[in-house]
Structure 1
Amino acid sequence: MNCQKKPAISDLPPDKKDDEVVGKLPFCCKNGTLLPPLMDPSKARSMFQLQVFKLPPDLNRTALHPPQNWKIDGILNPQYKCGPPVRVDPSQFPDPSGLLAITYAIASWQVVCNITKPKAQASRCCVSFSAFYNNSAVPCNTCACGCNDIDTDTCDAHRNPLLLPPDALLVPFDNRTLKARAWAKQNHMPVPKKLPCPDNCGVSINWHVSTDYKNGWTARLTVFNWRNFAFEDWFVAMDMGKASPGYENVYSFNGTRVPPNNRTVIFQGLRDMNYLVGQVNGTNPLRDPPVPGKQQSVISFSKKNIKGLNIPGGDGFPTRLFFNGEECALPKHFPKKSSGHRRGISVFMSLVFATVAAFALMMD
């Protein structure tokens, strides 16, 4: 029961679907998650039912006033802007008695809500980049999901994040300081007196370029959930830009191309594995940092019929990425294949050649 002028209505969890009091409705109890019809039409709409009572002086039974000023919000979803209710033809429903008859609603209204472009630093998820040809990982941007005044008193909200060893991406931000400082010292990188602020994102996604060969390349997508709650029926959508036509397969997720141009690919967990658990305590809470919920898969791409594709040059990284419809903040930079890396390979090959030549001379 709620008598507020602006009540918040929450979708019920799936275990209430067959509840005798609040369940037994078609398309009810989706836990606040709606999937695109392309992925699963049965999960593309949700229904809930309210009992509305009239209070004095509004006791006229024939006067119906639909709720105004609709707003859709959630734990992690895009921002919506809703229009006013518009009277439409009464909706049709199957007869609750089970007979082959149609029951009409007394009155129906339609409210249309459109996704709006998020404001700067208003994302709720972010992306980090890493690659096999570079030892450092580029973490999420500083304050990618916003920073408050309390944070900026102890950290710098305008400084680029420090490069990290890839294993540090598994650790909560508060536990990365020692790793970041040690990594900077090992790689002769400067460390500012006032360290960059955290990204403050509840979900982060790591995109790792795994291989790059003549006819194709592979990447690994890892989703981290830093919240205390789980995401059911989560999905990731991304645009790979120039490399998009080369998408071949994903091995631990379901992958679906989005027509008509097929530039966007949607990934979701396999059946019975589409539950992204929340963050839990480490094995020893007093010593070990919390462990995020995690799911990952390898994705393969082809280079066939794509001219001038340069994976280390940036073509191997997504140009846009979404989690549950929310656009995630991408890093400002991507790992680069330095000339030092190439020289290291050349020196190694020279040593191998010299060893083989010396062995041949000994045999002669």
Structure 2
Amino acid sequence: MKAVLVFVAISVLFSYAVAYDPLDPSGNITIKWDVISWTPDGYVAAVTMNNFQMYRQIMSPGWTLGWSWAKKEVIWSMVGAQATEQGDCSKFKGNIPHCCKRTPTIVDLLPGVPYNQQIANCCKGGVIAAYGQDPAAAVSAFQVSVGLAGTTNKTVKLPKNFTLLGPGLGYTCGPAKIVPSTVYWTPDRRRKTQALMTWNVTCTYTQMLASRYPSCCVSFSSFYNSTIVPCPSCSCGCQHKNCIQKDSKLLTKAGVNTPRKDGQPLLQCTSHMCPIRVHWHVKLNYKDYWRAKIAITNFNYRMNYTQWTLVAQHPNLNNITEVFSFTYKPLVTYGSINDTGMFYGLKYYNDLLMEAGPDGNVQSEILLQKDLQTFTFKQGWAFPRKVYFNGDECKMPSPDAYPYLPNSAHIFAKMTLQQSLIILVSFLLGLRVV
């Protein structure tokens, strides 16, 4: 009996551990239901999905939200979203509900639907931006009219078993909980009112639920060593049997780049078999600064990564001086050092990472000021400790494979005053110093 209790305790702790993200400890998606009016047999609710994750977004084909009704509720109508199935509504005559399923599945509408089918923050094809990248776009909403439900705070029963689904989504949703009613402005912005009843559902991300394999990998190179350290073999699993060579004639066929509803990728054949590769190159060394180049390559012919995010963990990011063609934002959590940052593309410039092919890459360079107490090129110090793409942790090379520093590298640490002046002048002139 004691062994069983220990096993259960460990299992509970593990379940929380895999859902906890130390780089974004308060990140989650909160689904809020606001009952805004009562109807003869139920209520009208505004449902809002807020993405409070700093660097994890929901990309196309978007979110799919599901739940189980507590009683025999039906959906009379919806604005800004729709149920994927109507279900059995045969007992209704005349006015037929929008959905009669006990477990409805809801999807967002696409942009461009008629105005009378829209509400604020709806109709984005289920795409929700990361909060740290674009807070205004990190929300999605719809309105639902529920029938055969309670018509008071005491008779309404909260839906159960919420799910947040979709290709590549690995979210676990907790139970609905009644919270203080939301206060909001009336449409004319003249006065404040509040919801008749409000409940929240919190969904947290777990990468193991999204996929048993990583979705990205990292490779390394440096100016002081000719070795290029590739992504580990089968970094993302080698289960994709339908990979395609980059010079294949099949790429000229119509529809090859069309995304599939199940989200299955069409990958370029590589040794790592990852949709995304991140390459970190240690490029230049100056007296007080050093420079690195970051390149992101897409190997998925069916996916354009819109508003992508890249997170890197490196001890020298607390002294980052300039980022040349990405946007940079430090990620500092309470009680931690500033060693983690988020990179993302400039709007209308490189925030869209095209599918595999000649245009399937984005790149930037970063300039970092040296911390002379800790800076070194030895033992792979100049390479990141962890890398995340779109919120998924990437597979890293083994530390013993990192580009090593040649034996003559002591010149970096032991310099005469004359050599230091030469390096300083070289930095001012933008020359490469090895």
Do they superpose with TM above 0.5?
Answer: yes
Q: Which residue of 1 aligns with 2:375?
A: 309
Q: Secondary structure at the match of 1:84?
A: coil
Distance 1:60 1:114, change over 3 A: closer
TM-score (norm 2): 0.56
Structure 1 position 65, deviation (Å): 3.9
Does 1:268 pair with 2:344? yes
Q: Which residue of 2 aligns with 1:81?
A: 172
Does 1:42 pair with 2:42? no
TM-score (norm 1): 0.65
Q: Which residue of 2 aligns with 1:101?
A: 191
Distance 1:113 1:137, change over 3 A: same
Answer yes or no: is the 8 Å Cα contact 1:11–1:30 preserved in 2: yes
Q: Distance in 2 between matches of 1:315 and 1:329?
A: 18
Q: Secondary structure at the match of 2:395?
A: coil
Q: Secondary structure at the match of 2:139?
A: coil
Distance 1:341 1:116, change over 3 A: same
Distance 1:99 1:254, change over 3 A: closer
Answer yes or no: is the 8 Å Cα contact 1:83–1:113 preserved in 2: yes
Structure 1 position 59, deviation (Å): 6.0
Answer yes or no: is the 8 Å Cα contact 1:130–1:136 preserved in 2: yes
Answer yes or no: is the 8 Å Cα contact 2:225–2:406 preserved in 1: no
Cα deviation, 1:106-134, whole Å, max 9, x if unaligned, reads: 43211112333647953222222222233
Q: Which residue of 2 aligns with 1:287?
A: none
Cα deviation, 1:34-63, whole Å, max 9, x if unaligned, reads: 3234x43323x3132143554xxx565555
Q: Which residue of 1 aligns with 2:391?
A: 325
Q: Secondary structure at the match of 1:70?
A: strand
Structure 1 position 340, deviation (Å): 8.4
Q: Secondary structure at the match of 1:47?
A: strand
Cα deviation, 1:137-195, whole Å, max 9, x if unaligned, reads: 222223322343x75xx9xxxxxxxxxxxxxxxxx88459xxxxxxxxxxxxxxxxxxx
Q: Distance in 2 between matches of 1:318 and 1:173?
A: 31
Q: Which runs of 5+ in 2 are unaligned?
A: 1-82, 88-100, 248-268, 410-434
Q: Which residue of 2 aligns with 1:204?
A: 277
Aligned-CA RMSD value = 3.5
Structure 1 position 255, deviation (Å): 1.2
Q: Which residue of 2 aligns with 1:69?
A: 161
Answer yes or no: is the 8 Å Cα contact 1:30–1:46 preserved in 2: no
Q: Which residue of 1 aligns with 2:303?
A: 229
Q: Which runs of 5+ in 1 are unaligned?
A: 155-171, 177-195, 281-289, 343-364
Structure 1 position 25, deviation (Å): 0.8
Structure 1 position 318, deviation (Å): 0.8
Answer yes or no: is the 8 Å Cα contact 1:121–1:143 preserved in 2: no
Q: Distance in 2 between matches of 1:80 and 1:278?
A: 26
**Amino acid in structure 1 at the alignment position of 2:191:** A
Does 1:298 pair with 2:365? yes
Does 1:336 pair with 2:403? yes
Picking from 216, 226, 240, the partner of 1:125 is 216
Cα deviation, 1:63-113, whole Å, max 9, x if unaligned, reads: 534442223345556x432211111223233323x1513343343211112
Answer yes or no: is the 8 Å Cα contact 2:173–2:202 preserved in 1: yes
Structure 1 position 311, deviation (Å): 2.2
Q: Percentage identity across aligned positions?
A: 26
Matched length: 283
Q: Which residue of 2 aligns with 1:180?
A: none
Q: Which residue of 2 aligns with 1:239?
A: 313
Q: Which residue of 2 aligns with 1:163?
A: none
**Amino acid in structure 2 at the alignment position of 1:216:** Y
Richer in strand (by share): 2
Cα deviation, 1:235-265, whole Å, max 9, x if unaligned, reads: 211111x323332110001112223532111
**Amino acid in structure 2 at the alignment position of 1:296:** Q
**Amino acid in structure 2 at the alignment position of 1:110:** N
**Amino acid in structure 2 at the alignment position of 1:221:** I
Richer in helix (by share): 1
